[in-house]
Amino acid sequence: MKLFNKKGAMLVAALAVAAVSCSDDDDVTGNVVTTDFTGTFVQQDQMGRPGINTVFPTTDAEENAFNTTLPADGIARWQPTFQSKVEALYTAYSNTAGTTLTYENNILGLDLPTLTTALALDVLQVAPNATTNYFNPTTGLPLTGRALSDDVIDVSLILLFGGNTGARFDGNNGTPNLVSDNVGLEPGVIQSAFPYLTAPRF
Amino acid sequence: MKKIALWSSIAVCAAAGIFIAADHLDAPAVAMTTSDIADFYAFEGANSDATTFVVTLPAADANAQFDENVLIEINIDNTGVEGSTPGVVEDLVIQALRQGDKMYFFGPYAPAQTGLNSTIDPDAFAASVDIGSSTTVGGVSYFAGLRQDAFFFDFEAFNNVVGTAPAAGFGTTGNNTFEPLNVNALVIEVPNALLGSAPPHIVDQLLGPNAPGLPVAYNVWVETKRR
């Protein structure tokens, strides 16, 4: 299964200017697809878990820098920033509520430094031998994958604002609702068979 | 000329706040470009012995295309935290690049270099698929093309919460900002045998003695890289 087997010489000739024709792509009409796989590709954007760069970096410069921070460097570079951001949100709601509100260890038992350490290493976990969800309320297991139907925003809010019950600020008893944006998967956008997303609607 | 018009229209929509998925429009340097990632998913699909990766990019209209000079690279760490650095490094990559009316896939394979710059090893070629179609080669299923955006989020309410801290928070009703949107999607279902053994869960590795005992899991992320 080598792309260039049929024209092996092309591999050798894959110079910077090369735009190689691949005989694999000769179709019945005789069209030849021109392909070029040469060159150095330089990082523009990256993503592991949902919403991280949307929520935590604050300034334009931080958001740009986050997209080119290697996962090997994520914790050292971003954990303090993330923790400050969460603390600032609690401060804002303290001002709204007229009383001091601070982060409480969440349903996973994680304190704020530990939670923001895990978030700053922005890679998604996916388990080959377990259910694969951002959080599975049945098993209680977090971070074993991200399914198309997972309500990742609510999970993220619960981890940040839910406290040890997951419902600390749920809109009841005079609290603000900070644990759900009240939206779910739209009907008809996913399907059970590959490729799992349904045809577009324009 | 066509491309300029296409992306100008995206710019207009983006300025109106329409295109902001779980990652999309996160950073000014990539917002409104063909390298802007919208979303990334990894889960067990119909085949319980395989992992499905989904990468989406914004698609303004039915003419939206993957950029022929933007490599989409799925990174897989199967060794966990290494050495004294509490981070991870990719051990395998799956690369995808559109050329003409096909998407070409390479890997999973160990890249010659890790980090911010990548090249494509043509010997790692695995399959190609017509844009808009699916194929299965060597037990791996591939799709590339336009699909509906599955992401859901009341982004306006979120901005309100983090911006002004209203007393009600998100309140009791929401509006999905992403309901009418479409994306250009890459979907790859890979037998786990091609991904190696999964390492201890990263949360367990970070917490050490207080580890909650989570299932072993690959660490994965997606990058766009432009030449």
Q: Which residues of A150-174 are buried (b: 16+ CB within 10 A; e: fewer)?
A: bbbbbbbbbbbbbbeebbbbbbeee
The phi, psi pair for B99, rounded to 5°, reads -135, 125
**Which of B125, B182, B217 is the closest to A126 by Cβ?**
B217
Say what the pLDDT of residue B148 is: 96
Residue A164: C-alpha distances to residues A111, A144, A157, A170 (Å): 10, 20, 13, 13
> What's the average model confidence in pLDDT over A119-127?
96
B212: CB partners within 8 A, 6+ apart: A108, A109, B203, B204
B51 with B141: CB under 8 angstroms?
A: no
Q: Between A and B, how many CB-CB pairs are < 8 A? A: 367
Neighbours of A188 (CB within 10 A): 10
Among A180, A162, A181, A174, smallest CA distance to A99 is for: A174
Looking at residue B82, its pLDDT comes to 76
Exposure letters B31-59 (e unless 16+ CB within 10 A, then b): bbbbbbbbbbbbbbbeeeebbbbbbbbbb
Residues of B in contact with A18 (CB under 8 A): none
Q: What is the DSSP secondary structure assignment for residue A178, as one 8-state letter?
A: -
The burial of B126, by beta-carbon neighbours within 10 Å (0-12 exposed, 13-18 middle, 19 or more buried), is given as buried
pLDDT of residue B97: 98
3-state secondary structure of A159: helix
Half-sphere exposure of B2 (CA within 13 A, CB side): 5
> For residue B182, what pLDDT is reported?
95
Task: Give the per-residue pLDDT at A33.
Answer: 64
B197, two tokens: 């053994």
Provide the token pair at B5. 């018009």
CA atoms within 13 Å, Cβ hemisphere of A83: 15
User: Which DSSP string do the residues of A96-149 spell out, in sequence order?
Assistant: HHTS-------TT---HHHHHHHHHS--EEE-TTS---SEETTTTEESS-B-TT
- E-strand stretches of B31-124: 39-43, 50-59, 70-77, 92-99, 102-109, 117-118
B218 touches chain A (CB under 8 A): yes
At residue A56, the pLDDT reads 86
Q: Does A111 touch chain B (CB under 8 A)?
A: no
Residue B13: pLDDT band with limits 50, 70, 90? very low
- Nearest residue on chain B to A97, judged by CA atoms? B167
Name which of A76-80, B30-34, B163-167 the model is least confident about: B30-34
pLDDT higher than 90, residue A59: no
Asked if B179's CB is within 8 angstroms of A44's CB, the reply is no
The alpha carbon dihedral of B162, A120, A53, B50 has a sign of: negative
Choose, out of A10, A27, A34, A45, the residue to mutate when testing the contact with B (most B CBs < 10 Å). A45
Cβ–Cβ gap A3/B104 under 8 Å: yes
Whether the CB of A58 is below 8 Å from some CB of chain B: the reply is no
Considering only alpha carbons, which residue of chain B is nearest residue A53? B26
Interface check B4 vs A, CB under 8 A = no
Distance CA B20, CA B154 (A): 10
Closest CA to A7 of B76, B7, B117, B122: B122
Contact B172 A171 (CB under 8 A): yes
CB-based contact, B131 to chain A, within 8 Å: no
- Other Cβ atoms within 10 Å of B159 Cβ, number: 14
B149 touches chain A (CB under 8 A): yes
The residue of B54, B147, B205 whose CB has the most chain A CBs within 10 angstroms, and thus the best one to mutate to test that interface, is: B147
pLDDT, average across residues A79-84 = 96
Query: Which amino acid appears at position B187 of this protein?
Result: V
Q: Which tens digits make up the pLDDT trace of A96-107?
A: 999 999 999 999
Cβ of A40 within 8 Å of Cβ of B227? The answer is yes
- CA distances A77 to A64, B203, B219, B220, Å, are 13, 18, 19, 19
In sequence order, the β-bridge partners of residue B102 are B99, B130
Helix (H) or strand (E) holding B4: helix B2-15
Mean pLDDT of the residues in chain B: 88
The lowest-confidence range among B2-6, B93-97, B140-144, B158-162 is: B2-6
Read off the pLDDT of each residue in B139-157 and give the average, rounded to a whole number: 96
Strands A141-142 and A135-136: antiparallel
Banded model confidence at residue A7, pLDDT cuts 50, 70, 90 = very low
- pLDDT at residue B25 in the model: 56
d(CA A188, CA A186): 6
Q: What percent of chain B has pLDDT over 70?
A: 87
Mean pLDDT to the nearest integer, A160-183: 95
User: ipTM value of the model?
Assistant: 0.90
> What DSSP element (H or E) covers B163?
helix B155-164
Across residues B69-89, what is the average pLDDT? 90
DSSP state for residue A170 in the 8-state scheme:
B
pLDDT at res. A14:
38
**A22 pLDDT higher than 50:** no
- For residue A117, give how far its alpha carbon lies from the nearest alpha carbon of chain B (Å): 8
State the Cα–Cα distance between residues A119 and A74, nearest whole angstrom.
9
Please, which pLDDT band fits residue A2 given cuts at 50, 70 and 90? Answer: very low
pLDDT of residue A31: 56
Is B20 part of the contact surface with chain A (CB cutoff 8 Å)? yes
Is residue A11 predicted with pLDDT exceeding 60?
no
Tokens representing A39? 């060159």
**CA distances in angstroms from A185 to A35, A126, B143, listed in the order given:** 38, 21, 22
Range 83-112 of B in CB contact (< 8 A) with A: 85-90, 97, 99-102, 104, 106
Q: Which two tokens stand for residue A88?
A: 């600032």
Determine the number of helices (DSSP H) and then strands (DSSP E) in chain B. 3, 11
Joined tokens for residue B64: 């939206």
Q: Is the dihedral of CA B91, B36, A56, B148 positive or negative?
A: negative
